[in-house]
Structures are given as C-alpha cells and as structure tokens.
Amino acid sequence: MPHSGIDNSPKYQAEVQRIVTIHNVDNLPVSETTGVLPASGFSDPIMRLPTELICLIFKVARQDISIKNKKALKELPTEVVLSHVSRNWRSWALSTPSLWADFSYRQGDCSFLAVFDRLTTYLERSKTHWLYLSFTFHVSPGNNRSDTDANDLLTKIIPHAVRWRRLSIISDKRPVEHIKHLFRSISAPNLHYLNIQIKRESTSMAQSSLRAVLEAKILRGGAPPLRVLHLAGLNLYSWLPPLSNITTLILENPAYTLEMPEKMPWSSFIFLLKSSLENLSIAGCGNIPPPSFDIAKPIPMPHLKQLRFSNHNSLFNLLWLIAAPLLDSLTVQNINASEPHFPNDFPSLRTLNIVNCGFKHHYFASLRELTWSTKHLTISMDNRRGQDFIDAYSGEITWPELEVLNLNLQRTPKAANYLPFIKACLRRPGFTIRMHQPVQDVLTEHYPEVVSAFLMEGIIQTLNPCSLNGGGYWPAGGKVAENFICDDDVFYIPSHERTPP
C-alpha cells in the first residue's frame, strides 16, 4: 500500500511496516491472488487508502459499535470484519489484543456452540488486555438450555477475573442463581464497572441476620478499583460486592416485576448509601418503609454530585434527609407526593429535572426551597401530568437564580397555561426558554404579543431533543467508556416534539 507521507520518521515507518507484514495467519479460504476474502464486501478504492488512514477508520468504527450497538450481535462485529478483509489486515487484527477485549452475549441470537467458541477465541486473542464482558440470559417456554448456557459461559470467564474491567450479567429468574458460588471468593483487581440485574431471587431477608444481609456475597477476594455498581432485581443484596470504593450506585427494582420482596429494613437500605458516593440513582426499590421524620437522622453524603429518583413515593422522602453540600444535578421522575417536609438545602445545585411528577401545592413549594439555587430547569410532562404541575405552581415566585428553562411538553391547548410560570421565571438578564416549535405555536395562538416580544428579545429558542438525556450517558461528564450506558435507562426522557396531543 502507498504511504501518505504523514510521518517519515524511521520509528513510524517501522510501525506501518509491522502492521502490513503477514505473520501468524491461520488457514482460511483467502484468494491466493488478491489476498481478499470473496465475501469481504470491500471494494478496491478503499483499499488504496494509506494504511494508517484505514487503521484510523476501523478504530473509530470499532469504538462506535462497542458503545452503541451492543445488541446487534447478528451483524458481524467490527473486529471480525477487520480480520477477514485481507491477509494483511488479518495479521494485524490477530496481533491487536484490544480488538478482542469486548464480548457480548444475548441468549437466542445464535447457536450456543458458536457463542462458546467465540468467547474462547476472544479470551485467547485478547491476551492480557482488560476485558469488557456482557451476558444476558432468558428463560422462555421450550428453552431448557438457559441454566447450562449460563454455567458454561460464566465458568469460562472465572479464570480471567484478574482482567475484568466491565462485567454485566442480566438474567430472568433461575439461570445464574445456582452458580453464584463461583463468584463468591474470587478477586477482581481491575474491575471498575459491575452490572447485576436478576429479576427474581429465592433469598428471603426474613431468614437472615442483618449482618448476613449486609456482608459481601461476591468478589470477597476484593475489587479495590470497583467504582460503578448497578443492581436491579427483587433482592438487591443477593449479589452484593464490596462497597468500600463505590462512587456511582444505580439501584433499580423493575416496575414490571409482579412479586414483591420482603420488607427491607431502613437500616439495611441506608447501609448502601456510602459517604464516598458521587452519583446515586434510585428507581422503584421495592418495599422500604422510611422512618418518621421526627426520629430519622440526616444522611451525610459529602461527595454526592448527581442524584436521581423515580417511581417510589415514600422513598422519595429520603431527599429531605440527605445532606449533600456539593449536589449539582437532581432528577425527580414519576413521583406523586402531597405532604410538605421541612426543607433541606442543596446550595450547589445547578441542574433540576422534573419529569411527569404529580406534586401538590405545598409539596411543590417545599421542593422549590430545597432547590432554590437551580440555574438550569427542565420540565418534561405528558398531557396527564402537565396540568398537575401548573396547579401546584399557583402563581408563586419560582427559582431566583434560574437562567435556562427547558419545556418538553406535548402540543395541546393546555400548554398555553404555562405562560404565567414562564413570566415568573423571567427574573435575570439573559434568561432563555427552550421549547419545541409546536408548543411555541400554541403559545403564539393564545398570546401573540407576548410571544412576539419574547422572540424579539431572543428569549425563546428551539429545544434540542438530544439535550434532554445528556448524550445518552449517566452520570454526565467523566470518561464516557466508564459511565453507565443508558440503552435501557428508566430515566430516559422521551422528546414530545412530535408526540400527538
């Protein structure tokens, strides 16, 4: 291949030559004349590009697929395509461990034998590189292999625990319960991210002492780098790892699960809220009755910066117990609350997202005092909840520091009822309100002069739907590759830009 002349240094030339050198190519039906597989699908023009440019193209494609298309396993992964372009590219692919470090399995996508062989190949070719592993098991009528599949695949990765960087295990009902002992005593010295979602467990906390409930159930050999923990299921403690260094905790109890867990003691739940936490997400965590406010103690969380609540009205009262002086972002979703509480204070709060909440008037006032320092406010309501918010507002003064208001509303005549709220928010120079064009049209129909004045002053802007979910990662900021990937995030905010009224 020709060289582009980007770098003529001997060191760079030697690296390019290493990439294009043929070595360790196993026997495949490759054309002896062209060196290209017959079904590769690559045309000659692209193969005339400089080697280092093609390297960059495949590197970017590899990163894109590893993040966005985890579930598209019926399509060939990029590393497989790469290794079948030509003899040269196969040689390079087989000698690049990072290409084979990311493995995903979703039961039913293909035959188990092919998956097991693929896992074996990836473990071998990744050599000593960190591993990014994801397994999803399903129990369905006529499927008797789920237990065996889980046992064979998870047993296969145990000897490589020293290389785990990200590990995700998602299962419904029984497949992984009987092999949990494999994870009990091992050490994972490089594990950063752990995602365990088990939809049903047989463990009953009523039969266990509080100490037994709170002790680590897996990775007892230690996982010092573990920072991100995602637990979902009816018994959050059944797969509990060491928590000493956790900074991001995501707790979910799926709403579609019919069985309810034993009542979780308040003291057990509070045990999870470590002072080291920087990011906390809680969604519908089952039957956890909080104590009365006159006896409850404050929960110190000095490092907490991002907090999310959803689908649990009583547990939402926890918000008034958390002492988080550094909290920067708060999201509340699908909460129905009516009782006011003694206001706490989040002096560093800048971002507040209120999504489909049914607040009563006094509760709204209490929440507003709790979040008085908000600068960026997002109100996302469907038609069922939209009027509830306006009724709770009742024309009172809003957030005094507010700079940006995002209104994600459906096009409906009731959207015009938000104008008094919008006017009350206009307290600072340079204030900006963002809304979808259909909602702007509704406001214009009812208040043409007011909207015209807003437009002349540049106050109204069009809401970008992509801005509602922070790019699809949570927590926002930091290294994208180490964050929770929100493919199925219960906090995902759908845009109402084109939603019919």
CA distance 155 to 178: 12
User: From the CB of residue 239, how many other CB atoms can be counted at a distance below 10 Å?
Assistant: 24
Answer whether 312's CB lies under 8 Å from 332's CB.
no
CA distance 178 to 175: 7
pLDDT of residue 259 exceeding 50: no
pLDDT for position 165:
95
pLDDT for position 450:
87
Give the best-scoring range by mean pLDDT among 18-22, 175-179, 362-366. 362-366
Give the best-scoring range by mean pLDDT among 42-51, 174-183, 375-384, 426-435. 375-384
pLDDT of residue 229 exceeding 90: yes
Question: Quick one: pLDDT band at residue 185, thresholds 50, 70, 90?
Answer: very high
pLDDT of residue 294 exceeding 70: no
User: From the CB of residue 463, how many other CB atoms can be counted at a distance below 10 Å?
Assistant: 23
Tell me the two tokens of residue 220: 């007892």
Average pLDDT over residues 177-202: 84
Tell me the two tokens of residue 251: 């707790």
pLDDT of residue 41 exceeding 70: no
pLDDT for position 145:
61
Q: What is the mean pLDDT of the chain?
A: 75
pLDDT > 70: what percent of the chain?
Answer: 64
User: From the CB of residue 289, how many other CB atoms can be counted at a distance below 10 Å?
Assistant: 12
**Farthest CA pair distance, the chain:** 83
Q: Which of 430, 439, 436 lies closest to 458 in space, CA to CA?
A: 430
pLDDT for position 197:
85
DSSP strand pairing (228-233 vs 193-198): parallel
Which of 13-17, 216-220, 383-387 comes out lowest in average pLDDT?
13-17
pLDDT of residue 258 exceeding 50: no
DSSP strand pairing (306-310 vs 329-333): parallel
Residues 124-163 have pLDDT tens digits of: 999 999 999 998 887 655 555 666 778 889 999 999 999 9
pLDDT for position 286:
60
Question: Which has the higher per-residue pLDDT, 421 or 14?
Answer: 421
pLDDT for position 22:
31
Give the best-scoring range by mean pLDDT among 182-196, 206-220, 236-250, 391-405. 182-196
Average pLDDT over residues 225-248: 86
CA distance 136 to 120: 17
* Those residues with Cβ within 8 angstroms of residue 77's Cβ, 6 or more apart along the chain or in another chain: 65
pLDDT for position 457:
84
User: From the CB of residue 382, how many other CB atoms can be counted at a distance below 10 Å?
Assistant: 15
Question: Quick one: pLDDT band at residue 11, thresholds 50, 70, 90?
Answer: low
What's the one-letter identity of residue 1? Answer: M
Question: Which has the higher per-residue pLDDT, 152 or 179?
Answer: 152
pLDDT for position 385:
73
Question: Which has the higher per-residue pLDDT, 133 or 65?
Answer: 133
Alpha helices by DSSP H, listed for 351-430, are 361-370, 383-393, 419-425
Question: Quick one: pLDDT band at residue 260, thresholds 50, 70, 90?
Answer: very low
Question: Quick one: pLDDT band at residue 90, thresholds 50, 70, 90?
Answer: confident
Question: Quick one: pLDDT band at residue 68, thresholds 50, 70, 90?
Answer: very low
Average pLDDT over residues 334-352: 80
pLDDT of residue 257 exceeding 60: no
CA distance 378 to 20: 52
Go through 326-341 and write b for each residue having 16 or more CB atoms within 10 A of its CB, e for each that does not.
Answer: ebbbbbbbbbebeebb
Average pLDDT over residues 333-343: 71
pLDDT for position 187:
95
Question: Which has the higher per-residue pLDDT, 164 or 364?
Answer: 164
pLDDT of residue 298 exceeding 70: yes
Q: Is 21 helix (H, G, I), strand (E, B) or coil?
A: coil
Which of 41-50, 109-118, 408-417 comes out lowest in average pLDDT?
41-50
Average pLDDT over residues 252-279: 71
Residues 366-421 have pLDDT tens digits of: 888 889 999 999 999 887 776 777 777 766 667 889 999 999 988 877 788 888 88
User: From the CB of residue 8, how many other CB atoms can be counted at a distance below 10 Å?
Assistant: 8
Give the best-scoring range by mean pLDDT among 46-50, 331-335, 396-400. 331-335
pTM for the model stands at 0.79
pLDDT for position 329:
95
